Amino acid sequence: MSDTEVIITRRAKVAEIARLAGVGTSTVDRVLNDRPHVSAATRQRVEQAKAAIELGAQPVARSRPWRLKVFLPDEAGPSTEYLAACFQDVGSKGNATIECVFTKKMEPAVLSRRLRACAGQGIDAVAFQALEDPRVSDAVEDLAAIGIPSLALLSRLHSSSLVGFIGIDNRAAGRTAGYLMGRLAHRSGPVAILSGGQLYRAHEEREIGFRAALRQGFPHVKVIGTYCGHDDIDGNDRETSRLIDEYPDLIGIYNVGGGNEGAVRALKDSGTAGKIILIGHNLTPKTQGYLLDGAMDVVLHQNMRRAAGQAVDALIAHLEHRDFQLEILPVEIITRENLQGATFG
């Protein structure tokens, strides 16, 4: 994702790694030699401590680094996987060890249980891709009551106990998609919205913005409805195929969530790729390819590396009782014409 060369200043000693990671030297030895009987969380801490030392990071003067836990949805696509990798890279700064955990997608009961399970684990703070559900909100309140702050990633959650939100202005992103759809549409006709469901506030905000922009500036483009593909490749394939069959005059699709591959597959199978406008989110190797071959017209992107860095900085500042200004990430507009120099970060 990045061409920046990693320069190792020196080789970390086992005792140094153990001290920074807060584990024994035997545990470090097992991790470095890829031996079994080490949990994923401990392995991540050891690897981050090793990277911090070898990259010359200067950890905060504490008895141990802050322990942060990040919850992301499983099987959510390459952009989410890249976000997890970015968190691991941020952990190499040395002032925090970051454990990324993938939870079952679109399952608020599972997410709320995993959040509550942080109690008694020595976790200092958590960040998570929020699902709009009272069980998740209650879990955030329970963590706050025992001194574990939480931060919402990429999608907002209504809770006064949250440290804040890291991500783009999703309503503005939706309005941008609506504006671009209206400008790209050379004739009157129907457009459809693909959504992951009702659990991500980000998806709702994008849909609201998209509809508003079309109503305001492009009345010749009519939204026929929102179709749930569950943020899933097969689900989006199925819904897109049904749309193409039912609306032969369809002029555009806006996918507010993941699973772009499914929409592209249906368009290609039906011979309508490049004829039906497709606007989606997040630049990845796959969406980059779709832009190049004309299957997608626009990708609205948010910088995942910047999101990870801001999330960690905000949580640590909160833990250390320092002021920190949360910034809304910019909505980047990527087309095939400006791909050179664009990064997945």
Could you read off the pLDDT of 108-153 as tens digits, one per residue?
Answer: 999 999 999 999 999 999 999 999 999 999 999 999 999 999 999 9
- For residues 91, 92, 95 and 97, what is the CA-based torsion angle, rounded to 10 degrees? 40
How far apart are alpha carbons 91 and 41 in whole angstroms?
Answer: 13
In a domain, residue 286? The reply is yes
* CATH code of the domain covering residue 276: 3.40.50.2300
Taking 90 as the threshold, does the pLDDT of residue 187 lie above it?
Answer: yes
- Degrees, nearest 5: CA angle 321-326-327: 160
Are residues 196 and 292 located together in one domain of the fold?
yes
Label residue 41 exposed, middle or buried (CB < 10 Å: 0-12, 13-18, 19+): middle
In a domain, residue 253? The reply is yes
Range in 32-41, 202-211, 232-241, 271-280 with the lowest mean pLDDT: 32-41
DSSP β-ladder status, 252-255 and 189-195 = parallel
In a domain, residue 310? The reply is yes
Which token pair is 140? 């955030």
Label residue 271 exposed, middle or buried (CB < 10 Å: 0-12, 13-18, 19+): exposed
Taking 80 as the threshold, does the pLDDT of residue 68 lie above it?
Answer: yes
The count of domains in the chain is 3
Taking 80 as the threshold, does the pLDDT of residue 4 lie above it?
Answer: no
Residue 307's alpha-carbon distances to 79, 180, 287, in angstroms, are 12, 25, 20
In a domain, residue 109? The reply is yes
Are residues 178 and 295 located together in one domain of the fold?
yes
| pLDDT average, residue stretch 254-277 | 97
In a domain, residue 337? The reply is no
Are residues 199 and 272 located together in one domain of the fold?
yes
| pLDDT average, residue stretch 193-201 | 94
Residue of higher predicted confidence among 305 and 37:
305
Q: What is the pTM of this model?
A: 0.83
Q: Tell me what percent of the residues of the chain surpass a pLDDT of 70.
A: 95
Q: Tell me what percent of the residues of the chain surpass a pLDDT of 90.
A: 75
In a domain, residue 342? The reply is no
How far apart are alpha carbons 84 and 304 in whole angstroms?
Answer: 9
In a domain, residue 147? The reply is yes
Q: What per-residue confidence (pLDDT) applies to 58?
A: 53
Are residues 192 and 160 located together in one domain of the fold?
no
| pLDDT average, residue stretch 99-108 | 95
Please identify, among 40, 57, 74, the residue that sits at the C-terminal boundary of a domain. 57
In a domain, residue 70? The reply is yes
Are residues 101 and 148 located together in one domain of the fold?
yes
Range of the domain at 211: 170-301
Helix axes 78-91, 40-54, angle to 10 degrees: 60
